Structure formats: structure tokens, C-alpha cells
Amino acid sequence: MKRFVSFIVTSFLLTSLWIPSAFAAEEKKNTDIVSNVKSAILIERDTGTVLYEKNSNEELPPASMTKIMTMLLIMEAIDEGKLSWNEKVRTSEYAASMGGSQIFLEPGEEMTTKEMLRGIAIGSGNDASVAMAERIAGSEDAFVDMMNAKAKELGLKHTFFKNTTGLPVSGHYSTAADMAIMAKELLKYEGITKFTGMYEAYLRENTDKKFWLVNTNKLVRFYPGVDGLKTGFTAEAKYCLTATAQKDGMRVIAVVFGAPTSKERNAQVTKLLNYAFAQYQTHPMFKRNQTLGLAKVSKGKEKKIEAVTSEPISILTKKGEKIQDVKQKVILQKNLKAPITKGDQVGKIELIKNGKVILESPLVASKSVKEAGWWTLYKRAFGMFTKSGK
């Protein structure tokens, strides 16, 4: 078993702490917040606290909200250096043949990753989704395997993907709760909202095939603070939406499945967002990629690695409540051995109130550390012997 070394930093904040775990039981009483949808959920992004839910574990077709997972894997590939923003991605005949929502890619046409992601996030392009899947995994089937593996990694027990697009197929399903977790993970990559938050944009702008994109998520334009994430519609799924909004430092995620019209879908999501911002507030603690410690690495080219936050970290309270006497406990893994890949977990941070852990979040390696060669290890050992002989 891995051993840990820890240190505690005590932060005296303001007044009293509202424990997030108390929210769920309270919100079950408020089952009338939304209506006329098959399922819904409302969560705070940083803590993942459920503020409201209705049939949130019912397995339903997610339609194009499927592309939240597609976009997540694209952002991961960029973050890991496996894909670049300006790389040209070629469209196969298969990708160009996708029906439904599309940006009308032609076989052999090339667009940059940035342009493809714009086509997916704003225009819900099925063709762009498949083109990116083929670039990252080699084929759509292989990419779907990656999607399901990621779902398993996130602990999603009621989600299974059959394609990258959400086009109707038997056995392709998710839930409001699972979709909220996928959205939470996607929003770790703050750059994604630069795409999902656009109301309109153009592709092929300097050609005679200029293509206008208009976001199907109208709340991006009409609800202050909404900057994503993804709509969905098929005859089977009806109107669906996973939306996110930020206000006064708090980001929330609202999901609805199965509204009868797009107007009703938007109205129900608006109710959820209004409720969240009227009732709750967050107290930001750390940003993503903030260094909280140095973990020792054995047999690596470098002896230490920065342990950074893997996501934004906040404490959630009822509106007007303050927090105090919260201890921050950083726990770094001991006996880490190279090689280490950027993003590998190297520790965790715990926020503690009255002896109880109220929030826990992983700390990850800020960069990769390769295994040291024998000559480097020899010089280190020789240096140790020299020091001990003095």
C-alpha cells in the first residue's frame, strides 16, 4: 500500500460552515422546481453537490448531449499534448457521410482542431465529431471504446455509448446524473466555454463556401452567465439540454431530458439556474493547476514534481452563509517512482471542518518525469557516498 506524508495548513475564514451533504435531503422536498420533463438534475460544479434532482438515474437516450463526452476526450488529448489546436484534421468519406446535424464536411476536406471543435460545440456537427474521433483513436469504434472507458473511470453506472454523435441506436443511453458528471469533468478545461459559449461563428470564412454556425443553446444569448454546454434532440429523446452558467464566482450545471419542445426545455433549465443562484453561493479556495506541494520522485530525471490541483476547488454554502475554521490538509504520496506522466495522481487535498472531511480532491503531476539513466543514478549515488565520507 502506498504511504503518504502530510502537512496541515489551517485557514480561518469567516463565520459558520454549511455542510454540503445536508443539501440533498433538503432538496428532495422541492420536487416541483421543474415539470414537463422526463428527468433533471442541478449540481454545483466545483463540489459536485446535488442541489435538485428528478428521476436523475433514469436511463434515457441523450441525443447530441453525447458530444459532451466526445468534447471531453478531445480536450484531454489537447491537454496531454497528443493533439494541437492548429493541427489539420482530414475528413474521411465515412465522417462526411454522417446525417443529422452537420457542418457539411466533404471527403478529404481538412479543418484545424479548433475549427472542428467549433463545429461540434456550436453546430453539433456529427461529421466533425466522427472526423475528430478518427483522428484521436483511428476509427469511430475505437473512439467509442475510449468513451465507454472514460465513463467507467468516472464511475458512471448508467451510461453506455454506441457512437460519438448521439444519433439514435438501441443500447445508447445515459442519465441526467451521469451527464452532469461528464459536464463537470469537461468544465475542468476552462477553454471549452470559449467554444460552447459562442452564440454564432463562421467556418470556411475566407472561401466561397462560408458557413454560418448558430448555437442551438439559445440560453447562451438570453440568460446572463450561460456559456454552454450542449443541446440534444431526436424524435425518441425529445428536447434535452445540459447547460452551465457562472455568476458571482459560482458555476452550476443543469440537465434536463425529454422536454416536449425547445421552449419548454429552456424554461425548465432557466428555473433550475434561477433556483441555484437565489439559494446558494460558493467560496473559491483554489484554481485548477495551482501548486500545493512538491512530491519526491525516486529514480527520475528530476527528484521532485509539483503537485497541482486537478480542478477548481470551492466550498458551497447557503446564500449568505460564511465559513470559518476550515483546515487544508495536503497529502502527498510517498515512494513515487519514475516514470510519471503529467496528470498522474501524486496526492490529494482535504478540506476539514470539526474533524470531518467535507471535501477531497486529487493532486496531480504538473508535468511528466522520465526515468533517470544509469549514469545519472550512479552520479547521485556517488555524490551521496562522497557526502557521507566527509
Q: What distance in Å separates the CA atoms of residue 159 and residue 172, rounded to the nearest whole number?
A: 8
Q: For the chain, how are helix, strand and coil distributed in percent, rounded to 5?
A: 30, 30, 35
* Rg of the chain in Å (alpha carbons): 23
Strands 226-234 and 238-247: antiparallel
Phi and psi torsions of 281, nearest 5°: -150, 155
* Grid coordinates of 289: 493547476
- Whether 88 is a known active-site residue: answer no
* Torsion angle defined by CA atoms of residues 157, 244, 292 and 310, in that order, rounded to the nearest 10 degrees: 40
Q: How far, CA to CA in Å, does 13 sit from each of 17, 20, 166, 293, 326?
A: 10, 17, 45, 21, 7
Half-sphere exposure of 20 (CA within 13 A, CB side): 25
124 is known as an active-site residue: yes
> Catalytic residue among 54, 56, 67, 361, which?
67
Give the three-state DSSP class for 214: strand
**Has 29 been labeled as part of a binding site?**
no
Q: Which three cell numbers stand for residue 370?
A: 522520465
How far is CA 107 from each of CA 111, 125, 144, rounded to the nearest angstrom? 12, 15, 22
Which residues of the chain form beta strands (DSSP E)?
A: 4-11, 39-44, 50-54, 88-90, 110-112, 200-203, 211-214, 226-234, 238-247, 250-259, 280-286, 291-298, 304-309, 313-318, 326-333, 336-337, 345-353, 356-365
Q: Is the dihedral of CA 172, 162, 166, 82 positive or negative?
A: positive
Residue 361 annotated in active site: no
Whole-angstrom distance, CA of residue 303 vs CA of residue 307: 13
Residue 304 pairs with which residues in a beta bridge? 296
Q: Out of 39, 56, 64, 361, which one is annotated catalytic?
A: 64
Here the cell at position 242 is 445540459
Catalytic residues: 64, 67, 124
Binding positions for substrate are 230
Binding positions are 230
